[in-house]
Structure 1
Amino acid sequence: MQYPRRSVRIMPTSLTVALAAGLLTATAPTSHAAAGATLPFTSVEAESAATTGTKIGPDHTQGTLASEASGRQAVRLAAGRRVEFTAPRAANALNVAYSVPDGQTGTLNVYVNGTKLARTIPVTSKYSYVDTGWIPGAKTHHFYDNARLLLGQNVQAGDKVALEAANAEVTVDVADFEQVAGAAGQPAGSVSVTSKGADPSGQGDSTQAFRDAIAAAQGGVVWIPPGEYRLTSSLSGVQNVTLQGAGSWHSIVRTSRFIDQSSSSGGVHIKDFAVIGEVTERVDSNPDNFVNGSLGPNSSVSGMWLQHLKVGLWLMGNNDNLVVENNRFLDMTADGLNLNGNARGVRVRHNFLRNQGDDALAMWSLYAPDTNSSFENNTITQPNLANGIAIYGGTDITVKDNLISDTNALGSGIAISNQKFLDPFHPLSGTITVDGNTLVRTGAMNPNWNHPMGALRVDSYDSPIEANVRITNTTITDSPYSAFEFVSGSGRGFAAKNITVDGATVRDTGTVVVQAETQGAATFRNVTATGVGAAGVYNCPYPSGSGSFTLTDGGGNSGWSSTWSDCSTWPQPGQGNPDPDPNRNLAKGRPATATGSQDVYTPGKAVDGDANTYWESANNAFPQSWTVDLGSPGAVRRLVLKLPPSSAWGARTQTVTVLGSTDGSTYSTVVGATGYRFDPATGNTATVALPDGTNLRYLRLSVSANTGWPAGQFSEVEAYPTS
């Protein structure tokens, strides 16, 4: 039940989802503000576009390309293949979220209405495939990157814009179409960094020129003209000054450490340029951040493009009344923004964040409580290791009108938590307002303990929750597991109480609406649910006997009255009756073990959803067995056994015995030893029909012979409840 310790978290973003059309688009505020940020671009999912490539996903299995993609789907392009978007709006610029295989680089050719542009989009794996082995449960992750291009011409709504993989395999996730304004002019009376010797070609070191301009412009504006500027060390002593560029597509600063200072008298305003770093791995002891420390009171950050850093803003010290708005945070290896204690009156709003390597937005009340601060109207998509928004302690905090989608691995869409990480920590107090948020495909399976995490989690991890937690006007769609989770993540059973959930729409949640795992109480009013996967409520406090969680029906609830009856097992997605997906592969992504494995060909490779990876047992040591835990007892009628489809795998016959168990200790034979033929000419697959009435939780395959190699080998083992 314990969650992983982490030392860094992240920030916000913004945009709204038109699910059916595969579009992400800006929306105007209404009387109750629409969830997400108002954005200058419209995004189109690659899977909704025409393509000669291969669509991948959907998938929620940690460590796969599809699971980290927006919408859990993307398009894989071999060299020469393309995906063609219909432009949703007038645009002269394009940003593409993509992935290439580890260690490779390449190019995307761009076509407008069939005509190839001279300009191309370089793609690289340089900033991807991050390993954080010190974080329990973290696999290699952070597969995607973003690359942008000014097209050099205008396209209109309805025009066709195609991307073609020129010389490497490229997986395209989403394309952002934007009409970029021309470069802004220099403000009167400002001090230009070029007047102090900055090199706009990016060749020379402009660090000292920036420092000199800041010193000369106290109380005024430092102007960063169009161009690229290289800084080789961080800036400090920044106070009472505005740093302003000509626009984030025109003025670009290349550095991994922009401002690093422990204090400031404040009045710092940073706006309208890009800071793009060279961070390729996460090193928590390095201040590889856009801002590390403090900007001081009454400061602001707006109109910025921040990319390839460890953290966007890691804020300590006095940042009272800071406003962070209308920024883009892309491809951080850790947090986007973290208010790291002592933040008062901070407003973080209308930001867009994609592909962060930890929490996207976080408040962490270390040393002093974050107080009267808010995350509002941000759009967050694809945090690939932790939560979309996390509130770790603090007093009178607001999380309002945010849009969060596609969390992965170790987090929820929103986490309201007393997990302290370090001392002195200030737990939640006062009123915590969580209002008007939309969560799409959020929540994940925590691989440390095979523990599902809800779309919205309230966690009394290190101490009871005594604050008033008010969760109102929430929309939760397509959560792979539960909608609302109440837990003491340390497994110590601290109470989560004083909670009200009022006004929620839950659609197609994978398991349950409420996942209660600790003592405490919550009142639910006007919570409606449709398409519930298993049952309305899972109420099984951990540890057993630690106290009950009381659900009070405040009226107006519908669609989730049933209770999961067996606290010895987790409900699995779609486990209700009838099963909403009877053709679901029960083994995909489940925990797998084996009597032995060879090198990197580990048991989990046989349930990772990728037929090109495989398990191989210890060699020359028959018999060898491979076992998967399907999560709960249930009917299994058919197995599909696979080897990699490549013709390099010669035909072979493996002799396999199928065994099953409901408790993981006593196994019985389901199908006796049988030779199964694998031939690349017919897909290298074998189907095993199981007898009617087969009911098992643990599936074991014992391999006693293989005519092609002296070991057991499977690239995928698929288990289905239908014949």
Structure 2
Amino acid sequence: MYTSTAGHVRRMPAIGAVVALAAGMLVTLAPAAHAAAGATLPFTSVEAESATTTGSRIGPDHTQGTLASEASGRQAVRLAAGQRVEFTVPRASNALNIAYNVPDGRSGALNVYVNGTRLARTVPVTSKYSYIDTGWITGARTHHFFDNARLLLGQNVQAGDKIAVEPAGTEVTVDVADFEQVAPTAAQPAGSVSVVSKGADPSGNGDSTQAFRDAIAAAQGGTVWIPPGDYRLTSSLNGVQNVTLQGAGSWYSVVHTSHFVDQTGSLGKVHIKDFAVIGEVTERVDSSPDNFVNGSLGPNSSVSGMWIQHLKVGLWLTGNNDNLVVENNRILDTTADGLNLNGTAKGVRVRNNFLRDQGDDALAMWSLYSPDTDSSFENNTITQPNLANGIAIYGGTDIAVRNNLVSDTNALGSGIAISNQKFMDPFSPLAGTITVDGNTLVRTGAMNPNWNHPMGALRVDSYDSAINATVNITDTTITDSPYSAFEFVSGGGQGYPVRNVNVTGATVRNTGTVVVQAEAQGAATFRNVTATQVGAAGVYNCAYPANSGSFALTDGGGNSGWAATWSDCSTWPQPGQGSPDPDPNRNLAKGRPATATGSQDVYTPGKAVDGDANTYWESANNAFPQSWTVDLGSPNAVRRLVLKLPPSAAWGARTQTITVLGSTDGSGYTTVAAAHTYRFDPATGNSATVPLPNGTNLRYLRLTVTANTAWPAGQFSEVEAYLTP
């Protein structure tokens, strides 16, 4: 039985860098600080909002239940009939995977063009696996909007080539494209037993269940070979032990079933590798074992090189799974967890996997019946869990979470949660040493609708019992958290303490509200934690329940950028509120929603607030005047603007004529600074400072460009807004 791990009910009172590789070629990559975190992947992803498009960009948005809030980077591109998004291919490729959305109840296709020539093959798109409702999970709304569809191109394309997609039959919102060079089919291992030799049908028409069972029985101690083809199984496999199940590659050997292995125990030494299991799960039914693996593979087993999609859970692991290795897999579009290590296991290693679009925790350990022990999640890349956490550790002894990259959590989750939430008994709370090391969290944390204020990017939660384990959090990078960075809380509302926490070596950039959100009694020591562009204050320290005890923050030295404390425990700071202790050095415009009257090619409005001076907005050409507008999120007394162009020698000096306007409501604008010429010269950093008069109070900042001496368009690589003159 599957028990929800997303129902984080709390009894409380009421984004990646873009690198320009060539003209018009923009590829989304992890920032340099993230290089050590995440999986080594066989594909390169390109965000649709960074590509050339005739469609409409949506987002950014962090509001639960909106399409953009579940998108990678919280942005995507909506295509109506006749509209396209064109990607510049970042690497030699022969395969394409598209993350997309279509309106509920609709299906259709994406036509694919390679360097302008339409392929005969199309990418099928459907809402069949989207729009999931889980009314029994408090705080859940309709979610799981995106899906993935893949295509072998039938030809090789090179870096710099153009691949465009356009909808056929329905509107399509394109989120991200993965480009991959898929290796040729692998050869059958010598001495293996082919499922086809036992009667399996590679056309997918016949039922191959018995043939798989017969091949497993015949190959004990050896290998079952799954040749290229599509195989349909109508019931699960059990009694699987002492055998290798191997395919020709996950793009070639495909098993269609919603429950592949289902068994309560095994003698082990099961190795599953190099094929795809694609299910037909269209809703979440927690009493149904609609999982790739349900139960136990037994000790000393492995799962590698798999493509797992359209199931409830990838691996729901109970019983003896000691020394299991799960590595180099893709787990996509599950309606619940990607993987849950559900008690008793020892020495499990889950590493170098890619998970996208999970409907609950992407990776979880839940110490039910007995503790998970000496197990780890390492070097995994997780994106867009759309209901719960990226990584969740619920109890367990001597657990490690190392070098993972987690991005874009939604609704009821943090990037990483270290928790004593038990869900049911018997439960084994956290014990020994919990190591959380080298992880990077991007746009993680969310507004919890049950709490009426947020979950942090990294949460330590004494939900059902005190945390007495030693929790060591080291070398963490937290970027663009919409709310807080580190949260210490007793989420069940019982005021249990959070003790023995050490946070050492963290970089926090552009957090929406606070660096530390402390809402439990207990203590933590912080060393070498640096923060920049803090939204409201460094610390929110307000225990719940009131008078349940205080949280002590010990300064171990080397901390900077987050000394101020939010003084009013009756209110939760809003992102970018900047009060009562605003950071005057925070760029209020960075990462905020930007629009313009026109844009040229890929040089879209958001490029002027992405924090990267090498990317830029360029207006429609030969069409002055042109305006660029940013929403700062709340009214602010802005005193100074810094306008930048790329600091490249290729950008010659120029003068732009600019008027600064402001608005508090986005409708009525007044002139803040009259039209003036501003000189941009590479010799002086290609930037210009615009002082604004004292008393300027605006939420919406608009720059109107009426002339440019070097190009017939308005151009900004960064627009920065500060409270200091």
Secondary structure of the residue that 1:283 maps to in structure 2?
A: coil
Residue of 434, 437, 443 corresponding to 1:435: 437
SS at match of 2:294: strand
Match of 2:521 among 519, 522, 530: 519
Unaligned runs of 5+ in 1: 11-15, 587-630, 643-691, 696-720
Q: Which moved more, 1:18-27 or 1:325-334?
A: 18-27
Please give the alpha-carbon distance, in whole angstroms, between the structure 1 residues aligned to 2:298 and 2:3: 26
Structure 2 counterparts to residues 252-651 of structure 1, below 5 A: 252-576=254-578, 577=582, 580-581=587-588, 638-639=664-665
SS in 2 for 1:565: coil
The equivalent of 1:13 in structure 2 is: none
> Quick one: distance in 1 between partners of 2:239 and 2:342?
20
Count of residues in correspondence between the two structures:
592
User: In structure 1, what is the Cα distance between the partners aligned to 2:511 and 2:666?
Assistant: 27
Q: TM-score, normalised by structure 1?
A: 0.79
Per-residue CA deviation, residues 170-190 of structure 1 (Å, 9 max, x unaligned), is 000000000001111110000
Match of 1:189 among 191, 205, 226: 191
Kept after mapping to 2: 8 A contact 1:128/1:142: yes
Aligned residue number for residue 251 of structure 2 = 249
CA drift of 1:17 comes to 5.0
SS at match of 2:49: helix
Q: For 1:161, what is the secondary structure of its paired residue?
A: strand
Residue identity opposite 2:60 in structure 1: P
| SS, match of residue 216 in structure 2 | helix
d(CA) in 2 for partners of 1:322, 1:583:
44
Which residue identity lines up with residue 375 of structure 2 in the other structure?
S
Q: SS at 2:197's partner residue?
A: helix
Does residue 1:144 correspond to 2:134, yes or no? no
Per-residue deviation, residues 66-100 of structure 1 (Å, max 9, x unmatched)? 10000000000001100000000000000000000
Check whether the contact 1:26–1:41 (CA below 8 A) recurs between aligned residues. Answer: no
User: What is the CA–CA distance in structure 1 between the aligned matches of 2:501 and 2:406, rounded to whole Å?
Assistant: 22
Q: 1:295 to 1:329 in 2, by over 3 A?
A: same
| Deviation at residue 585 of structure 1 after TM alignment | 10
What amino acid maps onto 1:517 in structure 2? Answer: E
User: Conserved in 2, the CA contact under 8 Å of 1:9 and 1:360?
Assistant: no
Secondary structure at 1:561 match in 2: coil
Give the 3-state SS of the residue equivalent to 1:151 in structure 2. strand
* Alpha-carbon distance between aligned partners in 1 of 2:508 and 2:27, rounded to the nearest angstrom: 21
What is the distance in 1 between the residues matched to 2:39 and 2:663? 47
Q: Is the 8 A contact 2:6 2:412 kept in 1?
A: no
Whole-angstrom CA distance in 2 between matches of 1:353 and 1:179: 19
Matched position secondary structure for 1:118: strand
1:275–1:307: 8 Å Cα contact kept in structure 2? yes
Provide closer, same or farther for how the CA distance between residues 154 and 493 of structure 1 changes in structure 2, counting only shifts above 3 A.
Answer: same
Alpha carbons of 1:232 and 1:514: their partners in 2 closer, same or farther (altered >3 Å)?
A: same
Tell me the residue number matched to 1:594: none
Distance 2:204 2:432 in 1: 49
CA distance in 1, matches of 2:181, 2:436: 34
Counterpart Cα distance in 2 of 1:293 and 1:25:
37
Counterpart residue type for residue 7 of structure 1: S
Counterpart of 1:374 in structure 2: which amino acid? S
Q: Could you tell me which residue of structure 2 aligns to residue 7 of structure 1? A: 4
User: Which segment is superposed worse, 162-171 or 528-537?
Assistant: 162-171
After superposition, where does 1:97-176 map in structure 2 within 5 Å? 97-176=99-178
Secondary structure in 1 aligned to 2:129?
coil
Secondary structure, counterpart of 1:503 in structure 2: strand
Runs of 4+ in 1 over 2 A off after TM superposition: 16-28, 577-586, 631-642, 692-695
Equivalent residue number for residue 200 of structure 2: 198
Aligned-residue RMSD, C-alpha = 2.7
Give CA deviations for 1:128-164 in whole Å, capped at 9, x if unaligned. Answer: 0000111011010000000000000000000000011
Amino acid at match of 1:53: G
Instruction: State the alpha-carbon separation in 1 of the partners of residues 196 and 5 from structure 2.
Output: 36
> C-alpha separation between the residues in 2 aligned to 1:170 and 1:238?
41
Structure 2: unaligned runs, 5 residues or longer: 8-14, 21-25, 594-632, 638-661, 669-694, 699-722
Once the 2 structures are TM-superposed, how far is the Cα of residue 308 of structure 1 from its aligned partner? 0.1
Q: Say whether the 8 Å CA contact 1:144–1:355 is kept in structure 2.
A: yes
**Kept in 1: contact 2:111–2:119 (CA 8 A):** yes
What is the CA deviation profile of residues 336-371 of structure 1, one whole-angstrom value per residue up to 9, with x for unaligned ones?
000000010000000000000000000000000000
Structure 1 pair 339–23 and aligned structure 2 pair: CA distance change class (3 A): farther
Tell me by how many angstroms 1:449 deviates: 2.2
* Deviation by residue 1:535-557 (Cα, 9 ceiling, x = unmatched): 00000011110000000000000
The Cα shift of 1:448 comes to 1.4
Alignment-mate amino acid for residue 296 of structure 2: S
Counterparts of 1:24 and 1:223, CA distance in 2: 37
Offset at residue 693 of structure 1 (A): 13
Residue from 199, 210, 213 that aligns with 1:208: 210
Deviation at 1:7, TM superposition (A): 1.5
Q: For 2:213, what is the secondary structure of its paired residue?
A: helix
Contact 1:298-1:322 at 8 Å conserved across structures: yes
Structure 1 585/307 Cα, relative in aligned 2: closer, same or farther at 3 Å? closer
Residue 637 of structure 1: CA displacement?
7.9
Relative to structure 1, is the Cα distance of residues 298 and 407 closer, same or farther in structure 2, using a 3 angstrom cutoff?
A: same
Partner of 2:314: helix, strand, or coil?
strand
User: Could you say if the C-alpha distance between residues 210 and 17 of structure 1 is closer, same or farther in structure 2, counting changes exceeding 3 Å?
Assistant: farther
How many Å apart are 1:432 and its aligned residue? 0.2
Structure 1 position 632, deviation (Å): 11
Name the amino acid aligned to 2:415.
Answer: G
Residue-by-residue CA offset, 1:49-75 (whole Å, 9 max, x unaligned): 000000000000011111000000000
Q: Secondary structure at the match of 1:47?
A: helix
**Structure 2 CA distance for aligned equivalents of residues 130 and 107 of structure 1:** 21
Could you say if the C-alpha distance between residues 694 and 36 of structure 1 is closer, same or farther in structure 2, counting changes exceeding 3 Å?
Answer: closer
Distance 2:476 2:697 in 1: 41
Query: Kindly tell me: are residues 492 and 264 of structure 1, through their superposed partners in 2, closer, same or farther at Cα, counting changes over 3 Å?
Result: same
Taking the TM superposition and a 5 Å limit, the aligned residue runs for 1:227-238 are 227-238=229-240
Secondary structure of the structure 1 residue equivalent to 2:210: helix
Contact 2:46 2:178 in 1 (8 A): yes
CA gap 1:584/1:529 in 2 versus in 1, 3 angstroms: closer
- Counterpart-to-counterpart distance in 2, 1:514 and 1:34: 24
| Equivalent AA in structure 1 for residue 63 of structure 2 | T
Q: Is the 8 A contact 1:517 1:542 kept in 2?
A: yes
- C-alpha separation between the residues in 2 aligned to 1:374 and 1:565? 39
Task: Please give the residue correspondences for 1:38-49 in structure 2 after superposition, counting only pairs within 5 Å.
Answer: 38-49=40-51
In structure 2, do the counterparts of structure 1 residues 518 and 8 end up closer, same or farther at CA, with 3 Å as the change threshold?
closer
Once the two structures are TM-superposed, the CA of residue 167 in structure 1 deviates from its matched residue by 2.1
The question of whether the paired residues in 2 share the 8 Å contact of 1:435 and 1:474 is answered with yes
TM norm structure 2: 0.79
The one-letter code of the counterpart of 1:385 is L
Percent of aligned pairs with the same amino acid: 80
1:88/1:158 contact within 8 Å kept: yes
**Deviation of the 1:491 alpha carbon:** 1.0
Give yes or no for contact 2:94–2:157 (8 Å, CA) kept in 1.
yes
- State the 1:43 CA deviation: 0.4
C-alpha distance in 1 between matches for 2:116 and 2:697: 55
